Amino acid sequence: ETGVTQSPTHLIKTRGQQVTLRCSSQSGHNTVSWYQQALGQGPQFIFQYYREEENGRGNFPPRFSGLQFPNYSSELNVNALELDDSALYLCASRPDSYNEQFFGPGTRLTVL
């Protein structure tokens, strides 16, 4: 077990709706990253937060946004959902000075 949890496990939304996914990291893991994994693909980097500030972003539009909280929890928000947003969303955290990513079990999002 990585000590990283995510909720919900599965979610079904319709196109145009908004969604919030949640992640709870281990204490002391100041960096959290979010990834999108489409079926049959590798995880794609969405963004990274360090101590509640976004400090890196991948090639995702602004309708993908996030928050990180002092209690090591974080959120991924996606507005105006599109069909192509259907994927497994993974959060991964790590402590300072470590590159190893500790992944959560993911949230499977289906957009209809």
Binding site for other proteins (CB under 8 A): 2, 33, 35, 40-45, 48, 55-56, 58-59, 90, 92, 99-106
Query: Residue 18 Cβ, how far from other proteins at the closest point, in Å?
Result: 25
- Comparing CB distances to other proteins, the nearer of 16 and 61 is 61
Closer of 46 and 111 to other proteins (Cβ): 46
Residue 88: CB minimum distance to other proteins, A: 8
Residue 59: CB minimum distance to other proteins, A: 7
Query: Is the separation of the CB atoms in 79 and 63 below 8 Å?
Result: yes
CB closer to other proteins, 20 vs 50: 50
Please write down the HEC assignment for all residues of the chain: CCCCEEECCEEEECCCCCEEEEEECCCCCCEEEEEEECCCCCCEEEEEEECCEEEEECCCCCCEEEEECCCCEEEEEECCCCHHHCEEEEEEEECCCCCCCEECCCEEEEEC
Nearer to other proteins, 4 or 17 (CB): 4
